[in-house]
Amino acid sequence: MQFIDTADVRVKGGDGGNGCISFRREKYVPKGGPDGGDGGRGGHVIFKATGELNTLLDFRYKREYEAQNGRHGMGKKMHGKDGVDLIIPVPVGTVIRDAVSTLLAADLVQEGQEFIAARGGRGGLGNQHFATPTRQVPRFALPGQEGECRQYILELKLLADVGLVGLPNAGKSTLISVLSSARPKIADYPFTTLVPSLGVVRINDFDSFVVADIPGLIEGAHQGTGLGFQFLRHIERTRVFLHLVDVSDMSDENPVSRYNIITKELEMYGKDITSKHHAVLATKIDAASDERRLDMLREYCKTIDIDFFAISAATGSGIREIVWYLAQILDRARHETNRH
């Protein structure tokens, strides 16, 4: 399945039904009077968050949506049937913005959360409402109102507790495959991961957390180099960031420089990412015969007061420690959120 995380859509609420012009005519009822019924309301267009979707792919093939019109009123004061609301499912984590002003219209972060994107028009009043002592035979009724027509930009931001960032080949895909049941593509060349992937890490029978593997950044990403920032929106909601730095013999660069490249790109991106909790993971230690790079990165993390771990996803070294560390950090973050 293709991963699509942005879409433009046009939605229109149903038109309201017209009010009815009718007069009661029955045998032995000489003065029946007006009895035109009201038109029904047009259907609303509603976006509803569901956990059954994880992409906006459907909106690539269908971009216009219109709810059902209300039925017209009828004689004998019969009210026209309301139009059926059009429920459009979207993934949990979908942000909806007005296409003209780009202002935030809704942020659907909970299962079942709804947003009325376009309201249906009100039904028109039948002529029964316009009878007065001086106007006993009103020969007019009100037409139904048109439904709202709006254009929106949909943007998916995956909901994850932990975001993995790092240069290409830092070991993010391998780590998430070890931590969870996610099976991203893994290979020894840049940009193996071309779309974000989520994995659920099980702590025990009752607790778990979600990890997001974000496609590799490179220097100059904020200017559009490489994959740019097109996927960083998916870690804006995360509580913890893990910076993966390759310290194996295959890595020729200074590990501190590799770490600072990513940090700089995140700072350029903004969105308060740098103010969140960060930790550094030295990866591929099983392939590091020369520990100078590992020691260099460890000492640097001490100087900037950031948590440091050394792991090997291939051998499992350090994996249990990082899982328990993340569990404690996330538990503390949830308690702080509940207090506020």
Rounded Cα distance, 244 and 289, in Å: 19
Q: What is the pLDDT of residues 229-288, one digit of tens each?
A: 566 777 778 889 999 999 987 776 789 998 998 888 888 776 677 788 899 999 999 988
Identify the CATH number of the domain defined by range 6-156.
Answer: 2.70.210.12
Q: Which of 8, 83, 12, 2 is nearest to 41 (CA)?
A: 83
| pTM value > 0.85 | no
Residues of the chain with CATH 2.70.210.12: 6-156
Do 198 and 210 form a contact (C-beta atoms < 8 A)? Answer: yes
| Angle of helix 255-269 versus helix 292-303 axis, rounded to 10 | 40
Tokens of 69: 């019109």
- What pLDDT, on a 0 to 100 scale, did the predictor assign at position 191? 45
Residues of the chain with CATH 3.40.50.300: 162-339
Q: Which residues contact 78 (CB under 8 A, 6 or more apart)?
A: 20, 37
pLDDT along the chain (340 residues), means of 10: 79 97 81 90 97 86 96 95 97 94 94 96 96 89 97 89 85 85 52 64 81 69 51 77 88 84 81 83 89 92 95 90 91 69
Do 158 and 93 form a contact (C-beta atoms < 8 A)? Answer: yes
Tokens of 205: 């029978």
Rounded Cα distance, 35 and 23, in Å: 5
CATH 3.10.180.10 holds for 162-339: no
- The single residue listed with the structure tokens 């994959």 is 227
Q: For every residue of 291-335, which 3-state class applies, written as one string?
A: CHHHHHHHHHHHHCCCEEEECECCCCECHHHHHHHHHHHHHHHHH
Amino acid identity at 217 = L
Burial of 175-200, coded b for 16+ CB within 10 Å and e otherwise, reads bbbbbbebebeeeeeeebbebbbbbe
- What pLDDT, on a 0 to 100 scale, did the predictor assign at position 272? 74
